């Protein structure tokens, strides 16, 4: 037997003993609707799911262990690979944490104004790209192939913008500790304006295509209800919490960066009795993302209209050497609150870096959410909580 | 409510002198509690209406140095009702570390504790399903410990590169 296993671990090695009419099926790790390599151990009674046990770790890359041997600036590209769908927001979340720790040092002047605007611009564009992917693949999981093509057509435009901005399409390494890596290329703001003018009316088109589609409603309305108390207990944040009706968004409630200068709303889920939609069901979680894209467009428009201040794009500093201490910092990524806990001993490397991933928390609710539902509903749940396995497994 | 006020509340409630507060820490003060009390204290913090720490933000193991004989487990709590936060720490020995689970207080603790068990080898007493979560079931050792040595061979594959 294994050297360091406990009693309960040993028990898990035994064969599962299903009831005589039960069947144990392994869904994944290679399955198109699991959004990466996730394996679900399903205990089925015909079509009904008695238990769905998630097995994760297939994408574990020891991010936290790596980070202990890297300087702070070297860690930034590693955060790209956590949630690779919204890498800008991951860069940003990590840099926020380091900057908060560095703010205890009087020599650190803070992030320059221009860099903050560039971060908001990049972060909100990435939020749209991320929600577009969530929308497109959710439709595809449920059986509607067309929205996927529409979503990827428009997401491609954002990726081209990012390619102009920093040279990369997915793993940007753009937001760095103290600022951003490079200034705007010529004509970039005009390109962004052209994109959002084109994009804003498309959201209504998507809603016509999928959100109010009869078949889609049948599959998602009233399915797998995660109410507010359950979402908070499971640590589910972002659209999953807002879909349960709680108006909570760190950009508004604990404003970081320069979000307090912009005017935007926080979309929350709503009860629609005639359609059968209840707070916290799959449809509401999905709908919040659709509405958030509009709010992101609003923020980007305000950045463009107000104009960007001139000045440096990165804080002047000799070395990134935060004072000894620790910080837990959160930011609002597209999939929820991304937290970083950093323990520093005053050297150039962190002693401990822990990433609290919103997808990890949301996925842990799957077991309770799926109990007693049908197999097809599992697909609807995974799509609606919108997980990226790169971030779950780190 | 500030950490200092919560500290006084806990001290009078649990009448335990082992609870201490660190106010000199950079950025945020934190409270150190004995491991035997963590489940009771968590329950108290979550259920009392004026504290209402209904959200466990993060639960991390911390191993500061290979030469230390203890590790830390850090609980970052937040109240969605009152919007205040709190950091709790539990110090555990590296040899046979045991901590009561807080799974019954916050459901997310189930997975967070499995992760700390997986990477640090801390056993959470009373946990409903304590097994590895990120690493394979037959992995040996707990890699986030500073004194960890990776195996030479895992299932016929060479590990160090």
CATH number at residue A269: 1.10.645.10
Instruction: Give residue A20's pLDDT band: very low, low, confident or very high (50, 70, 90).
Output: low
Residues A235 and A180 in one domain: yes
Window B:59-78, CB contacts with A under 8 Å:
60, 62-64, 74, 76
- Burial per residue of A72-107, b for 16 or more beta-carbon CB atoms within 10 angstroms, e otherwise: bbebbebbbbbbbbbbbbbbbbbbbbbbbbbbeeee
Overall average pLDDT of the A20-36 stretch: 78
Give the domain range for residue A23: 2-55
Q: What pLDDT score was predicted for residue A17?
A: 58
| Ranges A22-36, A41-55, A248-262: which has the least confidence | A22-36
**What is the distance in angstroms between the Cα of A190 and the nearest Cα belonging to chain B?**
40
Tell me which of B31 and A28 has the higher pLDDT. Answer: B31
- For A61-81, what is the mean pLDDT? 90
This complex has an ipTM of: 0.90
Residue A7, pLDDT > 80, answer no
Cross-chain residue pair B143–A65, CB shorter than 8 Å: yes
Are B64 and A62 inside 8 Å of each other by CB?
no
* Whether the predicted pLDDT of A13 surpasses 50: no
Residues B125-136 as b or e (16 or more Cβ within 10 Å = b)? eebebbbbbbbe
Q: Residue A306's pLDDT is what?
A: 86
Does A1 score more than 60 pLDDT? no
Statement to judge: residues A279 and A317 lie in one domain: yes
A155 and A22 part of one domain: no
Rounded to the nearest angstrom, the gap between the alpha carbon of residue B77 and the centroid of all alpha carbons in its chain is 11
Q: Which is it for the CA torsion A37, A38, A43, A47, positive or negative?
A: negative
**Residue of higher predicted confidence among B150 and A298:** A298
pLDDT in tens, A282-312: 999 999 999 999 999 999 999 999 888 888 8
Residue A14 pLDDT: 44
Residue A108 is predicted with a pLDDT of: 81
Last residue of a domain, one of A11, A31, A55: A55
Q: What is the domain range of residue B32?
A: 3-158
Cβ separation B133–A57 shorter than 8 A:
yes
Number of domains in chain B: 1
**What does the pLDDT read at residue A178?**
87
Query: In this predicted model, what pLDDT tens digit does every residue of B53-96 receive, in sequence order?
Result: 989 999 999 988 888 889 999 999 999 888 888 899 999 998 88
Name the closest residue on chain B to residue A12, using Cα atoms. B131
Q: Find the CB nearest B56 among A9, A235, A248.
A: A235
Q: Could you report the per-residue pLDDT of B90-132, keeping only the tens digit for each?
A: 999 988 899 999 989 999 999 999 999 999 989 999 888 888 8
Q: Are residues A153 and A242 in the same domain?
A: yes
CA distance A138 to A134: 6
Interchain proximity B141–A4, CB inside 8 Å: yes
User: A65 — phi, psi (to 5°)?
Assistant: -70, -40
Does one domain contain both A42 and A171? no
B47, B57, B120, B149: best to mutate for the A interface, most A CBs within 10 A? B57
Exposed/middle/buried for residue B157 (C-beta within 10 Å: 0-12, 13-18, 19+): exposed
Clarify whether residues A44 and A67 are in a common domain. no
Q: Lowest-confidence range among A23-27, A114-118, B10-14?
A: B10-14
Q: How many separate domains does chain A show? A: 2
Residues A306 and A200 occupy one common structural domain: yes
Is A16 an 8 Å CB contact of chain B?
A: no
Residue-wise pLDDT for A222-254, tens only, equals: 888 898 999 999 989 999 999 998 889 999 888
pLDDT band of residue A198 (cuts 50, 70, 90) is very high
> For the segment A308-367, what is each residue's pLDDT rounded down to a tens digit?
888 888 888 878 888 888 899 999 999 999 999 999 988 889 999 999 999 999 999 998
């Amino acid at each position: 037997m294994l050297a360091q296993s406990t009693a309960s671990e040993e028990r898990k090695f035994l064969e599962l003993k299903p009831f005589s009419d039960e069947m144990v099926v392994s869904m994944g790790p290679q399955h198109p609707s699991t959004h990466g390599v996730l394996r679900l151990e399903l205990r089925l009674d015909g079509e009904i799911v008695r238990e769905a046990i998630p097995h994760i770790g297939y994408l574990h890359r020891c991010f936290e262990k790596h980070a202990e041997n890297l300087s702070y600036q070297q860690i930034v590209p590693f955060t790209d690979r956590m949630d690779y769908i919204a890498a800008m927001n991951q860069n940003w979340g990590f840099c926020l944490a380091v900057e908060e720790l560095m703010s205890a040092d009087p020599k650190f002047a803070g992030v320059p104004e221009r860099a903050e605007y560039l971060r908001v611009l990049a972060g909100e564009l990435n939020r749209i790209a991320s929600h577009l992917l969530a929308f497109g693949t959710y439709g595809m999981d449920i059986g509607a192939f067309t929205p996927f093509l529409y979503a990827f057509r428009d997401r491609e435009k954002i990726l081209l913008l990012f390619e102009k901005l920093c040279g990369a399409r997915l793993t940007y390494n753009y937001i760095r500790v103290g600022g951003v890596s490079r200034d705007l290329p010529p004509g970039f703001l005009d390109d962004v304006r052209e994109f959002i003018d084109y994009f804003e009316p498309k959201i209504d088109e998507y809603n016509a295509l999928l959100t109010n589609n009869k078949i889609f409603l049948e599959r998602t309305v009233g399915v797998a209800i995660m109410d507010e108390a359950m979402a908070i207990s499971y640590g589910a944040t972002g659209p999953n919490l807002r879909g349960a009706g709680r108006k909570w968004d760190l950009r508004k409630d604990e404003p970081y960066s320069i979000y307090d200068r912009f005017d935007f709303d926080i979309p929350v889920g709503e009860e629609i009795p005639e359609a059968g939609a209840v707070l916290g069901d799959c449809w509401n979680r999905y709908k919040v993302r659709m509405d958030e894209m509009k709010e992101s467009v609003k923020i980007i428009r305000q950045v463009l209209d107000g104009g960007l201040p001139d000045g440096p794009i990165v804080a002047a500093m000799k070395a990134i050497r935060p004072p000894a201490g620790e910080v837990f910092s959160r930011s609002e990524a597209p999939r929820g609150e991304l937290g970083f806990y950093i323990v520093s001993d005053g050297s150039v490397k962190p002693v401990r870096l822990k990433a609290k991933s919103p997808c990890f928390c949301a996925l842990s609710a799957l077991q309770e959410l799926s109990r007693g539902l049908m197999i097809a509903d599992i697909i609807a749940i995974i799509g609606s909580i919108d997980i990226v396995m790169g971030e779950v497994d780190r | 409510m500030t950490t200092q006020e919560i500290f006084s509340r806990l001290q009078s409630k649990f009448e335990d002198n082992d609870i201490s507060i660190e106010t000199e820490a950079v950025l945020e003060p934190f409270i150190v509690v004995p491991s035997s009390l963590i489940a009771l204290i968590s329950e108290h913090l979550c259920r009392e209406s004026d504290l209402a720490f209904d959200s466990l933000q993060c639960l991390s193991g911390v191993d500061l140095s290979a030469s230390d004989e203890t590790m830390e487990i850090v609980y970052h709590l937040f109240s969605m009702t009152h919007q205040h936060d709190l950091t709790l720490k539990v110090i555990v020995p590296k040899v046979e570390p045991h901590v009561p689970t807080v799974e019954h207080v916050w459901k997310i603790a189930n997975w967070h504790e499995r992760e700390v068990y997986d990477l640090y080898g801390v056993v959470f007493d009373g946990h409903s399903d304590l097994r590895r979560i990120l690493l394979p079931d037959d992995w040996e050792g707990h890699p986030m410990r500073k004194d960890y040595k990776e195996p030479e061979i895992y299932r016929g594959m060479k590990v160090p590169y």
